Amino acid sequence: MSAPVNNDIGSLDRRLFAEGIELLAGMDEAGRGPLAGPVCAAVVVFRRDVFVNGVNDSKKLSAAKRERLFEQIIQMAEDFAIGWADPEEIDSLNILQATKLAMRRALTQLRVLPGLVLIDAVKLDGSPFPCRPIIRGDAQSHAIAAASILAKVSRDQLMVRYDEDFPGYAFAQHKGYPTSQHRQAVAQLGLTTIHRRSFLDEDLFQHFDAEPRRSRTFEHWKRLFSEKVPNMAAPDWESLSRHLPQVELRELRQLWEAYSAHGDCKS
């Protein structure tokens, strides 16, 4: 069941529906500014005249409100998808190109074919669907605002997980943004594998050449491989790939191959 929006944020969407668009998608990102963690892109597709009451630019909503709306959006949307770009990709491509990469990854996961994808301020090349960049789109389009909520909540949830995997950095509080708390943690503990080296300023650049700290998940599997635990089943690589940074995933695969070469693992 559709519900009316409680402000004019759906005016652009309503106009496009009136022009004949049946399936309208919105896309936005979260995490372009942080010092640590991936950038996340979300795309959400709504059928004609379907709106989620209360949707707004994610930055204008409380965390609790975003989480409630997240569940309503994915229930009422025709389809949605989340794409990511890893800190290593951000460093090698730059943040804008990495953001576009995350967006293309999200779009390729869609199971329906939107007539148009509205994107918040980003001109996207290489999309399988027609796209239109909208300046301040999260303030004008219900679909873009809904995507901003999906991206923000998805990324925040990942950073909370990283808070457990990298104790001492308080990722659950600042979500990777360069707050004084975060900068102090880097000064005391050094960088991690989820830090963006290209984002380091002069004060933090001294840590650039130091070996980055690995996650608890990585260290757990590394210990098992090194102990050559007999008949150990292969890790769930699909699950690990959802949160481990690429550099850790590559190292673990190499360690698994070395372990497997001994013939002690389960097929």
Q: Quick: pLDDT tens for 173-207.
A: 999 999 999 999 999 999 999 999 999 988 888 87
Is 78 strand, coil or helix? coil
- Percentage with pLDDT > 70 across the chain: 95
Model confidence at 34, in pLDDT bands (50, 70, 90)?
Answer: very high
Is 80 strand, coil or helix? strand
The mean of the pLDDT values for the chain is 93
| 139 shares a domain with 15 | yes
**Residues contacting 234, CB < 8 A, separation 6+:** 256, 260, 265, 266
Q: Is residue 201, in this structure, part of any structural domain at all? A: no
Model confidence at 231, in pLDDT bands (50, 70, 90)?
Answer: confident
pLDDT for the residue numbered 5: 41
pLDDT for the residue numbered 265: 54
Model confidence at 7, in pLDDT bands (50, 70, 90)?
Answer: low
pTM equals 0.93
Model confidence at 210, in pLDDT bands (50, 70, 90)?
Answer: confident
- Return the half-sphere exposure (C-beta side, CA atoms, 13 A cut-off) of residue 213: 19
**pLDDT tens digits, residue range 136-170?**
999 999 999 999 999 999 999 999 999 999 999 99
pLDDT for the residue numbered 4: 41
Structure tokens at 236: 């769930």
**pLDDT tens digits, residue range 45-59?**
999 999 999 999 999
Identify the DSSP state of 10.
G
| 243 shares a domain with 124 | no
d(CA 232, CA 55): 47
Q: Closest Cα partner for 228 from 259, 252, 194?
A: 259
Lowest mean pLDDT among 9-23, 95-109, 161-175, 227-241: 227-241
Q: Is residue 167, in this structure, part of any structural domain at all? A: no
**pLDDT tens digits, residue range 69-118?**
999 999 999 999 999 999 999 999 999 999 999 999 999 999 999 999 99
d(CA 13, CA 137): 11
CATH number at residue 94: 3.30.420.10
Model confidence at 266, in pLDDT bands (50, 70, 90)?
Answer: low
pLDDT for the residue numbered 97: 98
Q: Is residue 43, in this structure, part of any structural domain at all? A: yes
The CA-CA-CA angle for residues 96, 99, 100, to 5°, reads 90
What residue numbers bound the domain in which 256 lies?
Answer: 216-260
| 236 shares a domain with 115 | no
How many other CB atoms are there within 10 angstroms of residue 186's CB atom? 19
| 137 shares a domain with 37 | yes
- Percentage with pLDDT > 90 across the chain: 84
Q: Is residue 174, in this structure, part of any structural domain at all? A: no
Q: How many domains does the chain have?
A: 2
